[in-house]
Every structure is written in structure tokens, then in C-alpha cells.
Chains A and B, each alone.
Chain A
């Protein structure tokens, strides 16, 4: 026989003002099965909780209804109290008298009537609740980090420092990402490679980190604590175990005219190559598309020259399966392709370059060894125009957002240019200067005041090339209220930061959402900025939104904290709200299997003693099930039910509303 306790909270005045709590308690006491019905000023306070605990013990309650605020607010509080008093926490339900009643209705009798109804419904539900126990899931204490830029490196290093294993997957031949391509970094102007490369080496040599470069994630199965990831190790054609990185192969390779991706297509590389001299691992790969041995079967120079016999033209892609407990996505960004801007030359003007190209021109390791020389004729430009917000904040191009880093790096570019070309003129067109950050505003002020960058507020309407080779930049100075026209030698566009192409595929594999711009969605924009809707999958860096290096590093460390927190306990506890199949009723129509968004409903063979399959039914993997109940509603033979929201409970609720 059910023995239900009802506890009505006044929530100070919040409920008590509109709902006659004492009357609700009196009415509730009359409900069948209710043995105790009390009201109190603050049920969530210590004495309030004690009241519930005492009643559970003294009255031997089999179920509790707390009529107070929204269960989203205090369900955990009251369930914990119930558990402390020895009652299974899932035998407690809440009636929402505050958000759904007292705060939205003014009329006291009507609100009181509705409150009685809400309690009545929950009493009928709780009578049908079953004791549930948290589901324990094993956790594989290895993390996979996707992306070997600064975000991925930082996350991997921090997780590894916490004593857990990390697999760092990077699609290009070397880790380092965009940061390795930068010349200097704002706002301190320290050399990017000088601060990054030691980290890259540390990541490669850390005993807890396994580097998988030139590899891509092919498939993700499983769930938090138990992901099974298939990684494609692309054919390198160079055996990294034998290769010593001596460099004979790429010095002798006859194919030397291939535009280097690392140098933003301004420099050249060979067909067998390392992206840059400080690459980690410093082992070359063969670019199968350009190698004549692989395309036409002619050449073979690198194989002949290699002193270690490391070259293998027969190398094939390899699929590797790994088990990991958590995934950190740190896939970063790329720059928007400004060839869509016809008014800026549509990508046809060689001397209209993007931010990365300028970085490579300014970098000591770049194609011009740090001298600013324009791509068309190698001359030092005397007037450089920088244009901010190229694509960003432009709804016509589908990007309403601010790319966040461009104001800062444009100021840096203008500064670097003026440091290198003292008589040069640096003109910056801007919409707004957004320099929020430690030392950032000082930095942009410095570019303007000490380094003489000319800032023009306004948009550029057109760039074209005059017969003498000058680029004519026409725009408006909106502060002076007049049109401007500048004869420039080089134009640098601050292209919008956009997510990696094909990032949606990875998101879908992991069950992570993404916004209209393609940036991955965090679980909560404020309170859960590194988690995602998929439990056990975390976000670091610019794959979530445009971000500068300090923010990226901070977010990566936050990811590591989350991953280490997850790995701290050997088992993971989950809410036991999962579906269950009654195998006697299941006719194996597979409707639930086709419906489940998590692949949690699976086939299960029932065998006799001889091992013959007698029947195939559906079964729910409680590690995967998230408890949505879609399978329950679709089941034709009523064989599935959802713990916590059973058909019996819901029908009882509906019937009570009569």
C-alpha cells in the first residue's frame, strides 16, 4: 500500500502570496494514499529538508511529492534529502507550484485550485514510480584530441600532465597548426615559433601522448567513456621508424615548384616534403598528387638517395581503431576565400593578399626570409593598405559575426611593416576597432601613435589595378565624410575567420551540433562553454568561435580539466532514465532500432541451450540510451517502456486530470 508524503512549500511569499498553501495541504491530505501532508515556509532550507527526512523515517513513506519550485531548480536537492533518509531518490517527484502556478496566475482561488490539481497529478504519478539506481558506465581513461594546433597541443599536454593517455590526431604532416605559420604574436610581438615549437616538441616526446599526424578521423562510435574511433592513417610513403629526418630526399627531389600550403601558397615546396623546417615529427611525407613516381612511375630519386631505405612507394592508407573515453575537438579555423568579393579583385589581383600570406612574408622563416616583398614582382611595397572586416560582419556574405582577431592582427601587421619598411605608408581601413583584451587597446594605440599607421574609418568599395601596376583603393572616410583613393603597392585583406571545411562531417560523427556558420555548438554559451550536447565530447579553440591564442589556450586547458574530471572516477554514474524492452512482447519489427538517434536499441539474439537462435528481439544499451522515449512511442507491440516516464505513470497523470 502506498504511503505518500506531500510537502507544500510557501517559498517565502513567492508561492504563499497567490496559493493558499495550508488549504492545498489540507486538500492533499484527503487524497488516497497520502499519509502526511505538510506545508512550510522554505522547504528547501535545512529545517524544511529535515521535515521531509523525518516524515520519511517516521511514516515509512513509499513516495514523496514536494510541491515547490520547478524541478529544474531543486529536484536534485530534494532527491538527495530523500536518499539521505533512506528513500530511493527516484521515488520523489516535484509539483511545480511556483513557475507554473503562483507566478503566472493572480487570482488566489484559481491558483489554489490549480495547485491542488498539480499535487494530485504528482501523487498519482509517484505511486507508480519505481526505485531506480544510477547506471554505472566504465570509462576508458584515454582521450583523443582532434587537431594539432595550439588548442590541441595545449589540451593534450594538460591531459597528459594529469597522468592520462592522449592520442593527438592531426591531418597535416606536422602539428603546430596556424600558430606555427605566424611571424609575431600580438600584443607582445614575441616570435610565434619561439613560443610554440618547444610545446610541439614537448607534446611529441611526452610519454603519455601518442602523435598521429597525417591522419584523419574516419568514424566515431560508442558513447561517453567508451568511444570507438576509427582513424585513417594516410599513406606517407616514408617509414617514420626508419627515417631520421636528414632531408636528403627533399633537397634532391626534382619536383620543387609545388605551392607550399604552409607558406600560404607564396613559397614552393618539393613533392616529398616536411611542411616547415621545425616540423614535428620532422619526417617527410610524399605528396601523392605531385610525385611523378607515384603518378607516372618515373623518378625514384628519393628512394635512391635515402641512406636509411625509408621510402616505400607501395605504402597504403591504414585504418586504426582506438578506444577512448573522451574526445576534444580542436579543429580550428581557416580564412574565408575573398575571391567572392568581386569589388576587391575577386582573387585575380596577385598583390591583394590575405592575413596568412602577410604573416609568411613577415616571418623570418617565410619565402622572403622576413622581408616584405609583394608577390607580383618581389618589390618592397611603399604603400600597404590593410582592410579589416573582409567578409566578417557582412550579412550579404552570410557572416554576420565579428571574426574577433582581425583588429589585433591588422594592427600588428601595420606595425611589423613599419618596423621593416621605415619610409613605408600603412593605411588601415576599419569599421570599428575592437581591441578588448589585456594590453590590446594599448597595442592598437601604439600602432597608430608610435608606429604611424594611418587608420581610416570606412569601407573600401573597390580595388583595381592601374596600367602602371599600382593598386587603386577607393573607399570612404566616414569620419571626414569624403571619398578617399589610395595608390597602393600591396593590399592585405583581413578575411573572415571561418570553420574548417568539412567540419560538419566530424560534428555529425560525434553528435555535436553546429551553428549556421558551421562553428561547433557548446552545451551552454555561458555556463558550459567547452562541453557539447554529446556527453564526453569537448571543444577547444576556434572550431567553436573565432578566438585569439590566449583564449584558445585557456579553453584548451578547460577541456583538459573536464576530461581529467571525467577520468578521475573509474566508473561514470548516469541518470537511470532509460528505455527497457520487454523481450516477451517484442516482435522484432525493428521500428525502435530505426528510430533511435543514438543507436542504443540493438538486436539481441535469444538462444536455446544448444546455442540455436530461437528469437531475435530488440535490446536497449543503457550506456548509449539518453532516455528520450521516442522508441517507446513508436513501439507497435508496447514492448518498450521508459523508466521514470512509464506509460502507466503518464496514463495515471492523464486520468487524474479528469
Chain B
């Protein structure tokens, strides 16, 4: 933990990561809304792309995000069993499990793709998640494979 923190501090200098989050409308988007209504402060490096369900996420979205200059991608939906559409989150999880392995083949190191469940009631968890992901990405440094221009969001 201490080591990770020091690493964060050293690498974080001047590096403001860009993180794209694909979230579902019913749980995580609402969870993010709750973080807002609860006035929980979190790192400003994440941009949310709202989808009806994590099941809607095409792996290509994630690749495009990296290609477009994202340093990391976060996918978050409803908890298992809570999917508004019964089973979309299970499809997402299955797809993600396989896709994660293929990512390294595409030159994206593990640790640049995050997956989480955040329910509509978990505003605090959403804020913590964003802070945690941001800290980890800061520690990992910029994603070196994307040719896109580097500038802070």
C-alpha cells in the first residue's frame, strides 16, 4: 500500500490520466447520481458514457477508447442478480473475462481495464471506485501505445 502510494506520487507528477467509464443506466449511472446528490468529492478524470445496460458494451467500444487516448477504461453495471434486464450484466462479465485476456495481445497491459458493480444505492462506492481507479492509473502512468495527442482533460 505504502509502496503503491509513493509510486503514485512519483508518477503522478504532471500526469492527469484520462479514463473512460462505460456504465449502465439503471445501477451505476444512478449510483453516480447518488454520489452527486450526496456531494461526495472524487477525482475529475473520468468521463462517463451511458448505456442502457453493460450487456450493450461491444468490446470495440473499449478498444476505440484506448485508440482515442484513454489511459484506462472502466466498466460498471448492476450487481449480479440485479440487472434491470435480468441478465445483461452476466453477458458483460462473460465477455469481459475473455476480452481482458485478449487485450494484452493488443498491447494493452492488464490494469488498464477495470470492472465493477455499483448499484443505484452505492454512491460512496462509486466515489471510492473512481478515486481508486484514478490512483491506480496515475501509478501506472500514461498509456504509451496510443498515438493520440496527450493533453490533460
Which residues on A are within 8 Å of B, measured CB to CB?
70, 72, 96, 98-100, 103-107, 110-111, 113-114, 117-118, 121, 511, 533, 577, 595, 597-598, 626-630, 632-634, 642, 644-645, 647, 650-651, 653-655, 657-658
Contacts and interface: CB of A to CB of B under 8 A. Distances in A.
Contact of B39 (A103, A110, A121, A642): A103
Interface in B126-153: 127, 148-149, 153
Contacts of A595: 91
A627 B39 CA distance: 31
B112 interface: no
A595 B65 CA distance: 25
B80 interface: no
Nearest to A632: B56
Given A654-B65, A654-B68, A628 B85 contact: yes
B20 to A, nearest CB: 6
B128 to A, nearest CB: 12
A629 B68 contact: no
**A577, A597, A634, most chain B CB atoms within 10 A:** A597
A571 to B, nearest CB: 24
Contacts of A98: 36
Nearest to A70: B33
A114 B36 contact: no
A645 B56 contact: yes
14 contacts: A96-B48, A99-B33, A103-B36, A106-B41, A595-B91, A628-B52, A630-B85, A633-B56, A642-B52, A645-B52, A647-B58, A654-B61, A654-B68, A657-B47
A110 B68 CA distance: 21
Contact of B47 (A70, A121, A598): A121
A118 B32 CA distance: 15
Given A103-B39, A118-B47, A597-B85, A658 B149 contact: yes
Contact of B70 (A630, A651, A657): A657
Contact of B36 (A100, A626, A628, A650): A100
Contacts of A577: 52
Given A104-B40, A104-B42, A630-B88, 4 more contacts: A100-B48, A597-B88, A645-B56, A657-B18
Interface residues of B, number: 42
A113 B41 contact: no
B69 to A, nearest CB: 5
Given A103-B37, A657-B69, A658-B68, A117 B47 contact: yes
Interface of B: 18, 20, 29-30, 32-33, 35-37, 39-42, 44, 47-49, 51-53, 55-59, 61, 64-65, 68-70, 84-88, 91, 95, 127, 148-149, 153
A104 B41 contact: yes
Nearest 5 A/B pairs, CB to CB: A99-B36, A629-B56, A630-B55, A628-B85, A597-B86
Contacts of B69: 657-658
Contacts of A105: 41-42, 44
A475 to B, nearest CB: 39
Contacts of B127: 104
Nearest to A626: B85
Nearest to B73: A654
A457 to B, nearest CB: 35
Contacts of A657: 18, 20, 47, 65, 68-70
Contacts of B85: 597-598, 626, 628, 630
Contacts of B87: 597, 630
A597 B81 CA distance: 13
B44 A100 contact: no
Contacts of A107: 44
A511 to B, nearest CB: 7
Contacts of B18: 657
A632 B36 contact: no
A641 to B, nearest CB: 11
Nearest to A629: B56
A106 B39 CA distance: 10
Contacts of A642: 52, 56
A627 B36 contact: no
B36 A113 contact: no
